[in-house]
Chains A and B, each alone.
Chain A
Amino acid sequence: MRDVYVIGTGITKFSRLEYPLVEIAAYPAIMAMKDCGLSKVDHVYVANMGGSRLNHQTSLASALIDHLSLYPSGADSIENGPASGASAIKEGYQAIASGMHDVVMVVGAERMREANNLEATDFVASLAHPLAEQIYGVTLPSLAGMFTRLYMKKYGVTSRHLAMVAIKNHTNALKNPFAHLHAPITMDGIMDGPDAMNNNPMIADPLRFFDMCPVSDGGACIILASAEVAKKIKRPKIRLAGIGQATDTHCVHEREDPTDLLAVKEAARRCFQMAKIKPKDVDVAELHDAFTILEIVESEEVGFFKKGEGHLALESGYTALNGKLPINTSGGLKAKGHPVGATGVGQAHEIVTQLRGEAGERQVKNAKTGFTCNFGGFGNNVVTLTFVKE
């Protein structure tokens, strides 16, 4: 297989965006083309989850090709739930590694806030099992709540640990101009103070409001290329060195130990093996913290920490921006935002920005190796990526 490099990147602010889905996809694409100086690509992959349901827009990739006048390049829309973004990157990788294409654009775009919050939650809940979960009113927050309760009991994670994730990621987001939430929060404000329980109401206990990511619109793009093309582009050389994907049971209740996220573990193992690195080699990581508990558990399952010790690493500051392994420097899904289909591409954007040394105030010093975990379903389809600076 041929080596694959990231040569261009672009992103919108994750927020409420008042323009059509195709423009949310087009804006970061144009940014990425300008970033690498190319005006043509061989193929376009567009990750999106909710276009048909929320925006009355199917075949987003074809619509984007037209908007960018990129015909007759090939184009495919990719839907793999909240892991659509990293799945699309994987498709792009395969197209170049196989020798089929030399330059591929990968875009993720989502416009969720056209719907109200309940409709958006209901839409995301459509990835749960229709008969065994959906009919009962099971939503992603409720699955996360049931998971968290078990995790707390088994491993001694507390609500304060969860709040620490939120505070860390909100703090990081303050340094990311593209983040959805620029709202500093404190332990006093969301846990301890007299107004804390009003500020931070229960959503799916034990998970509270500040344990949940916001509902965001947003788009991101990376352009991938062969070594031959990358050589001619005057940008830092960032190689997409590893990809891992794994699946698990559709229903959470069928997992032997429901506190395990085996697809995360296996996807990471495959990814590190392909990249020929170990978890300890990672300098900066973006983990899929749609719920605060997930950052802690994923940090264990991917191998950064032992099972049951992720919250201790968090507590010690190990995963803070100035820690040994900064996690979610972008603000994570928690504060950067979670435009579902775009999220995986957004995570890759952050890691490439860090490895290029262009992350400004949130730059991790000497970051050479970065990792992303894009979590689909409630952990039933997970895609992980490793990027290396050369």
Chain B
Amino acid sequence: MKKSILGYKCKKCATIHYPNRAICRKCRNEEFDVVSLPEDGKLLTFTHLHNPSGDFEVAILDLGIVELSNGCRLTGQMKIEKPVIGMKIKSQIEVVRQSGYKKFYGAVFYKA
């Protein structure tokens, strides 16, 4: 099965939340549908973080915030050579952090 990031769509006002919360921030409804978030979007902002924590075996960790095609936003890692604000991206699910034997999956952004 293809992995994707799961958003939480309010059953009443259709606002998509990521991450999840118990009460909708727009209408205070408490029921959500779990939906797969789209892979395509645009880069809102980014940084190259030097000397990240020990779980990351890289000297520089690239991080970004994207707006997906359905308007939902995500923070994630970025593997883009020359990132530019506003560029089109595609997100992919990968291991983003490894702490001992524990693996964490999350979104990695590539140039679309």
Contact = CB atoms under 8 A, between A and B. Distances in A.
B54 A205 contact: no
Given A137-B77, A138-B75, A146-B64, A204 B97 contact: no
Interface in A186-209: 201-207
Given A141-B49, A149-B45, A204-B48, A253 B74 contact: yes
A258 interface: yes
A212 to B, nearest CB: 11
A121 B54 CA distance: 11
A118 B18 CA distance: 28
Contact of A137 (B18, B19, B44, B97): B97
A129 B53 CA distance: 16
Given A137-B61, A253-B65, A258-B65, A121 B75 contact: no
B49 A137 contact: yes
A254 interface: yes
B19 A129 contact: yes
Interface residues of A, number: 34
A150 to B, nearest CB: 5
Contacts of A254: 17-18, 25, 73
Contacts of A121: 53
A122 interface: yes
Contact of B63 (A122, A131, A142, A150): A142
A64 to B, nearest CB: 31
B36 interface: no
B70 interface: no
Contacts of B48: 145, 202, 204-205
A377 to B, nearest CB: 14
Given A142-B47, A147-B45, A136 B65 contact: no
Interface string B72-112: 01111100000001000000000011000000101100000
Nearest to A132: B19
B19 A145 contact: no
B68 to A, nearest CB: 11
Nearest to A201: B50
Contacts of A203: 49-51
Given A137-B52, A254-B73, 5 more contacts: A136-B63, A136-B97, A142-B49, A146-B46, A203-B49
22 contacts: A118-B51, A125-B53, A132-B19, A132-B75, A135-B106, A136-B77, A136-B106, A142-B63, A145-B47, A145-B49, A146-B45, A146-B64, A149-B46, A150-B45, A202-B50, A204-B48, A205-B47, A206-B47, A207-B47, A249-B25, A253-B73, A253-B74
Interface of A: 118, 121-122, 125, 129, 131-133, 135-139, 141-142, 145-147, 149-150, 153, 201-207, 249, 251-254, 258
